[in-house]
Amino acid sequence: MSPRDNRRMGSDLLLKVELPSDPSMLCVVRGAMERLTETFGFSASEVRSVTRAVDEALTNIMRHSYGGKLDRRIELSCLRVSKQQRVPSGQGFEVRLVDYGPKIDPAKLRGRKLDEIKPGGLGLHFIRQSMDIVEFKRARGTNVLRLVKYLQPEKREEN
Amino acid sequence: MLGGKPLQISARLLGTTTVFDITGDIDLANSPEVRKALLSEIREKKTPKVVMNMSKVRYIDSSGVASLVEGLKASRDAGTRFLLVGLSSAAREVLQLSRLLKIFEVFDTEEAALAS
């Protein structure tokens, strides 16, 4: 999507990076997301939430979409989105993650019940708890995950 | 800061207890190391009490939580104990989100864990 397309849709591109599907990149992305969400105006707990959601989403892509291969392409874009009438601040932080892996089975995107004590299956749960919008679609041979978190002005003073 | 800390794992033997000191972030890049260290101590060495000092862990992801759960399950199977010490607010938050905090034995200090 071009910057012009983004502006037409009421969004501004804040960051766009392409990274390999190598888990050693996760700490790099977390550092960048932390700084970017701080600058955007989120509270400390919201910064942790968004950073965690992006980290878990990338982990899912690396593990499930690319099956642990280290050299596949992932695109990460962060945008300022607006014109959301139900949100007092009118602003949201959107993250789009694109991968070129095989189509994901929607049944695998539900996560598991939390009343079971077993390892695994928690990543999607963390993402859904952290973000206001979690949308997945298949487009032009890619998997596109869209995550949105809205600014809540009354919470911005929290730490 | 959440990002950018490489993981370090060191072990101390205190009598029949092994204390793991973990420093850095636990994520997909290194949670297999944590899992391997824990399971080796619990399943293979059958150490009666394993304490995981997490006071210098500022980030743990779902794969890290999964490693802790595996360690706990292995200790229950072996009839031994697996304790967590010094959870940072971020680590505690993740365990609360996954509703797993209550299944672990959690202590504020290593002294308290060793005395238990």
Domain span including residue B85: 8-115
Question: pLDDT at position A49, please?
Answer: 95
Q: Does A99 touch chain B (CB under 8 A)?
A: no
Q: Is B3 part of any domain?
A: no
Distance from CA of B33 to the nearest CA of A (A): 13
- pLDDT, tens only, A95-130: 999 999 999 876 766 666 656 666 667 899 999 999
Site from A27, A29, A131 to mutate, B interface, most B CB atoms within 10 angstroms: A27
Q: Which residue does chain A place closest to B70, by CA atoms?
A: A119
The domains found in chain A, sorted by start residue, are: 3-155 (3.30.565.10)
- Using one digit for the tens of pLDDT, what is the confidence trace for B28-51? 999 999 999 999 999 999 999 999
CA dist A150 → A46, A47, A155 (Å): 10, 12, 11
Residue B82 lies in a domain: yes
pLDDT per position as a tens digit, B65-102:
999 999 999 999 999 999 999 998 889 999 999 889 99
Q: Is B7 on the interface with A (CB under 8 A)?
A: no
Q: How many domains does chain B have?
A: 1
Helices (H) and strands (E) in chain B, counts: 4, 5
Mutate to test the interface with B, among A17, A25, A26, A130 (most CBs of B within 10 A): A26
| ipTM passes above 0.90 | no
pTM listed for this prediction: 0.87
| Chain B contact set for A118 (CB, 8 A) | 69, 73
Could you tell me the CATH number of the domain that includes residue B49?
Answer: 3.30.750.24
In a domain? residue B38: yes
Task: Tell me if B77 is assigned to some domain.
Answer: yes
Does B84 fall in a domain? yes
Angle between helix A44-60 and B62-78 (nearest 10): 80
Nearest to B1 by CA among B24, B32, B20, B31: B24
* Interface check B13 vs A, CB under 8 A: no
Q: Where are the beta strands (DSSP E) in B5-47?
A: 8-14, 17-26
Which pLDDT does position B48 carry in this prediction?
A: 97
Q: Which helix (H) or strand (E) holds B81?
A: strand B81-85
In a domain, B1, yes or no: no
Specify if B106 maps to a domain: yes
In a domain, B2, yes or no: no
Q: Which of chain A's residues have a Cβ under 8 Å away from the Cβ of B70? A: 119
> Could you give the CA distance from residue B87 to residue B100 in angstroms, rounded to a whole number?
13
Question: In the structure encoding, which two tokens stand for residue A56, read together?
Answer: 């878990």
